[in-house]
Amino acid sequence: MPQANPTLNPTRPAPAVRRSAAATGLALLALAALLPRPLPADDGTEAFQRCLAGLVAPAARAGIDADFFRSTTAGLAPDPGVLELLDAQPEFTTPLWDYLAGLVDEQRVADGRVALREHAGLLRRIEARFGVDPATVVAVWGVESDFGRITGKRPLLRSLATLSCAGRRQPFFRGELFAFLRLLQSGDLVDPGLTGSWAGAFGQTQFMPSTYQRIAVDFDGDGRRDLVDSVDDALASTANYLRQAGWRTGQPWGIEVRLPASLDLARAGRRNKAPVSTWQARGVRRLDGRELVGPGFEAGVQAAVIAPTGRDGPAFLVLRNYDAIYSYNAAESYALAIALLAERLRGAGPLPVTPWPTDDPGLSRAERRELQTLLLARGHDIGEADGLIGTLTRRAIVEEQRRLGLEPADGRAGRRVLAALRGTPAP
């Protein structure tokens, strides 16, 4: 989902949403407190309706017909759940290797290769028009929505209206609510009951409404920009996003490299650009030891070195196209997932070649489902074995780690706890 907006794409962890010092979990109560005499049983609905009525005029200034606004938002009730999610502090942290193991697993590589074949003609036309190669476009599609399969389940209108009237980012979400209404008003979108992530990202590309408004293209020529049901529109819009973000046709995103012990890691980081020749002079080499400068990596091309887990883990030389990918979601982990998945789709074997600095690697989605099945067999009430590692699964893992004497008992879904559970019968 582009542009650092909060998201809840269940295929990947939400990027950190900045948390204000003030506790806002009670936002709806605070809303109710604005009422002259709140009824004891009031859940904030009345204040919510008042807030929506107050948005008619600003919406009109944003080009939304007042009658359309009223009829589309009539009968909406606030959703307190999205306010909790807005302020949720992650109870557990996800190491980079876990994040990548789930996003760039064999299943997604296989599905991506099928997508490349199935949509080969479309992807060629997209490349001709926007200059972005098929593997990159398909990699974004796979990471954003698992190729259109997972697009979010919360009604967008209700979420955006709630976040526009309560919580700590109301001006931002009002802009998104108005953008969503404009998409409905213009006929690009036809279903006001559309669902998406709790924060408003939706469709196959998981664009926020304002990004959709700005970037989406009608590539199948039916007169509507439909990133929900049209693969043509969705993939072309992804390419258009990358092009607008400064994509350079024909350039690689980067390569995995080997750093010399002498390299000061203070020189690393996506923003610390220097010509490829400078990195070569500093001793950075390709994994096979060859010189850095070569086709795609000409001496004068600006590049940065990233070492996301420090000196002991994989390192990469990244170029301008990595920044374009990064801008889609403003997270290093996300950009790496896209870049590595795209390489796999171009035929590369498992990546990165250099192991992550851990003796307890991450799990693919198939392994996560297996782990959940083992937890269910031990009586943990974690719901469906869907491969999504949520709070319930992590709490169950903590219990099993303690029972098995595994340290640390941190709730992490890694290879070690999976192996231990495979090897011990359910009680």
In the complex, which residues of this chain contact Ca ion (CB under 5 A)? Answer: 218, 220, 222, 224, 226, 230, 233
* Nearest approach, Cβ of residue 222 and Ca ion (Å): 4
* Nearest approach, Cβ of residue 218 and Ca ion (Å): 4
* Nearest approach, Cβ of residue 232 and Ca ion (Å): 7
* Nearest approach, Cβ of residue 225 and Ca ion (Å): 6
* Nearest approach, Cβ of residue 229 and Ca ion (Å): 9
DSSP state string for 107-172: HHHHHHHHHHHHTHHHHHHHHHHH---HHHHHHHHHHHHTTTT----EEHHHHHHHHHHSSTTHHH
The CA R_g of the chain, rounded to the nearest whole Å, is 23
Which is nearer to Ca ion, 223 or 250 (by Cβ)?
Answer: 223
N-to-C CA span, the chain = 43
Which is nearer to Ca ion, 91 or 222 (by Cβ)?
Answer: 222
Which is nearer to Ca ion, 176 or 226 (by Cβ)?
Answer: 226
* Nearest approach, Cβ of residue 152 and Ca ion (Å): 21
Q: How many CB atoms lie within 10 A of CB 21?
A: 6
Q: Are 108 and 45 in contact (CB under 8 A)?
A: no
Q: What are phi and psi of 98, to 5 degrees?
A: -70, -45
Which is nearer to Ca ion, 201 or 235 (by Cβ)?
Answer: 235
* Nearest approach, Cβ of residue 234 and Ca ion (Å): 10
Residue sitting closest to Ca ion (CB): 218
The continuous run of DSSP H or E covering 211 comes out as: helix 209-215
Q: How many CB atoms lie within 10 A of CB 352?
A: 19
State the Cα angle at 26 between 20 and 27, rounded to 5°. Answer: 75
Nearest to 364 by CA among 319, 327, 418, 297: 418
Which is nearer to Ca ion, 219 or 326 (by Cβ)?
Answer: 219
Contacts of 338 (CB under 8 A, 6+ apart): 136, 139, 140, 143, 325, 328
Total residues belonging to the chain = 427
Q: Are 317 and 352 in contact (CB under 8 A)?
A: no
* Nearest approach, Cβ of residue 211 and Ca ion (Å): 17
Which is nearer to Ca ion, 232 or 256 (by Cβ)?
Answer: 232
Which is nearer to Ca ion, 73 or 211 (by Cβ)?
Answer: 211
Which is nearer to Ca ion, 177 or 217 (by Cβ)?
Answer: 217
Q: Are 322 and 253 in contact (CB under 8 A)?
A: yes
Which is nearer to Ca ion, 137 or 382 (by Cβ)?
Answer: 137
* Nearest approach, Cβ of residue 214 and Ca ion (Å): 16
Distance separating alpha carbons of residues 77 and 71, to the nearest angstrom: 14
* Nearest approach, Cβ of residue 228 and Ca ion (Å): 10
Which is nearer to Ca ion, 220 or 332 (by Cβ)?
Answer: 220
Residues 249-272, buried b or exposed e (16+ Cβ, 10 A)? eebbbbbbbbbeeebeeeebebee
